[in-house]
Chain A
């Protein structure tokens, strides 16, 4: 494999790992919400700040942690 090819593969792997990590932590939740909103709803979407504020509130209103 050429050095450029290795670099490309490496970049792809790192990007994939970062993608998993972002999805796992919820870091990409707002982007996914925007995609959903553009597809399914009219009108302006929630702002990033409001979206995450509501997300935390919802998450901690039920049983989301265990023993």
Chain B
């Protein structure tokens, strides 16, 4: 029976993929992509994941998990697998899979879609599941600790530094996305500002008024932020208030930086925790709604399968399809960051090792599907409109007429009237050069929702989408700053012990300030960059994220070889080799390419030459020295990431060689086997038991 289902899935998947291939030169329906994706996931989950879990990882349901052994009713709690799946998915899903595919859509819909599917099924899902099982077998130890225990102190240190740097870059680029979405948009700005007091209200409710009534407080909060979207529309029509919320990008960056700093030093219950409840509800709700709407509406994809920009001259970011499509789509295919979550809270919830496939592999499949939906939302737009929204003024010109001229000359027809009508429909004053991916995703989502559930509400849907993205970007920003602060305090504690105390207020303020200054700097430079900044920061973040994935896969490969499973180590070694190649080639091009659109040093040299020749307008000339410094700094950071990547790989190779030659290696840190007992209380009384419906 299972075989018949498998064969049927393979057949439907093949037909859908064939459909995509045959429709290369005409518009294709999004339903083909959705069908192909679902079949690829089903096959991957049913066959590859099952094989990896059983044969390579040797998942053993008879072995007691840390949740069972250390059950304390608080952090170690055996949890129903679907509940743990929900928690894990909510933890890994962030704005990454929304932004990456939007940017990669400049190559056409095909390359990004294929990498999202293949990368997830063979790479990202395997990484998440493997790290989740390895951590579950080690009492829920973190990736850094596992690297230290299994490979040696260098691996652990590399993981720590890598995580800290990636956190800073991630927050900066996400901050930039929010700033670009709110820039000169009173409606968006008023709505996003309003979410701050709403979150605080929810926080007070949960802490003081009715402790722990999470559902009730979240429902209240979600209702209030939806109201804030409506109220934003009213602000937008009010002559006085409109001016009050019409901010340019520099003060908005100041707001985001100030907000991040305050959120990091306030107690978590007041802002961070309640905001996260709101964003989790909105995230799960919107993802579900988007999936339903895409199936109901099944829109036509208007972007070609491949565009001319595969040659490296794309307006969103410079660089050829190889390696940059693999760098840009970070989170939807493989995300090193997930390894940190999979070795953090989730292993402490796993009731049985048998659940690892659903929770680790399955959650990443869903994340990948979110990326597919973002790709659909980006590519159903008229390509001309897509490029007009996403191309920085520095690339296509700041005047609308110049921008449409440039974009039309690429073969993507668009007019100023068309853009004005669209902006008017979305309740915005302009949609030109709204880089960062959020506005174009919001336009895509608004047209999906609007066409499915009522067209008159386009501007409401647009600002709902902006609010939705901003809310969970801001909660990533809070949470990331806080985690960065903890890591920094951990490091600083070695220098001066009191700085390591996470509750000592002077140290809290000092370390939070350092972290915020770190990402605030990159955010500031991104804002003053006439090309939008995202074109530089996002690839850098992508390289960092893939580097972290490579560290995680190195740890996994090392453990597989050490435990006598070298024969099967290709399961993690394969994705590791691919990521190492992609990341190294991308890093090499970012450092050494003579093309200023790609090479960071070349860009710095070109800008310096313009500055010296006096050919820059006054405003650009004022910003140029900072941009030149930043481009050089980014190049050195890229070199640092690549160095860390290869040192970890060599360290892993050293340990593996020693093992294969029969020399001593660090002992396995796996906790000894203990037989699992049946724990019926693990499932709340209201929930169906395992295997039921």
Binding site for B on A (CB under 8 A): 15-16, 18-30, 32-33, 35-37, 39-40, 48-49, 51-67
Bound: A15/B684 CA distance, A:
12
* Chain B binding surface SS class: helix
Note all chain B residues with C-beta closer than 8 A to A64.
Answer: 91, 341, 344-345, 479
Are B95 and A65 in contact, CB atoms less than 8 angstroms apart? no
Contact flags (1/0) for B455-496 with A, using CB distance below 8 Å? Answer: 000000000000000000001100110110010000000000
Listed stretches B270-278, B308-316, B601-609; interface member: B270-278
Q: A18-B686, A64-B91 are in contact. Are A56 and B268 (CB under 8 A)?
A: yes
Q: A33-B74, A48-B211, A58-B74 are in contact. Are A67 and B94 (CB under 8 A)?
A: yes
Q: Is the C-beta of B96 less than 8 angstroms from some C-beta in chain A? A: yes
Q: Which of A29, A36, A39 touches B212 (beta carbons < 8 Å)? A: A29
Q: Is the C-beta of B149 less than 8 angstroms from some C-beta in chain A? A: no
Q: How far is the CB of B206 from chain A (nearest CB, A)?
A: 7
Q: A16-B687, A20-B687, A36-B71 are in contact. Are A27 and B215 (CB under 8 A)?
A: yes
Total A-B Cβ pairs within 8 A: 134
Note all chain B residues with C-beta closer than 8 A to A23.
Answer: 79-80, 83, 684, 686-687
Q: How far is the CB of A15 from chain B (nearest CB, A)?
A: 6
Note all chain A residues with C-beta closer than 8 A to B92.
Answer: 66
Note all chain A residues with C-beta closer than 8 A to B482.
Answer: 60
Q: How far is the CB of A36 from chain B (nearest CB, A)?
A: 3
Note all chain A residues with C-beta closer than 8 A to B480.
Answer: 65
Q: A53-B269, A66-B92 are in contact. Are A32 and B215 (CB under 8 A)?
A: no
Note all chain B residues with C-beta closer than 8 A to A40.
Answer: 71, 73
Are B206 and A52 in contact, CB atoms less than 8 angstroms apart? yes
Are A63 and B340 in contact, CB atoms less than 8 angstroms apart? yes
Note all chain A residues with C-beta closer than 8 A to B504.
Answer: none
Residue of B nearest to A29 (CB): B212
Contact flags (1/0) for B71-90 with A, using CB distance below 8 Å? Answer: 11111010110110011000
Q: A19-B684, A25-B277, A35-B681 are in contact. Are A63 and B341 (CB under 8 A)?
A: yes
Contact flags (1/0) for B679-693 with A, using CB distance below 8 Å? Answer: 001001111100000
Residue of B nearest to A28 (CB): B684
Note all chain A residues with C-beta closer than 8 A to B684.
Answer: 19, 22-23, 28, 32
Q: A39-B681, A60-B272, A63-B483 are in contact. Are A15 and B212 (CB under 8 A)?
A: no
Are B73 and A32 in contact, CB atoms less than 8 angstroms apart? yes
Residue of A nearest to B207 (CB): A53
Are B73 and A67 in contact, CB atoms less than 8 angstroms apart? no
Q: Is the C-beta of B545 less than 8 angstroms from some C-beta in chain A? A: yes
Are B213 and A67 in contact, CB atoms less than 8 angstroms apart? no
Listed stretches B330-338, B583-591, B633-641; interface member: B330-338
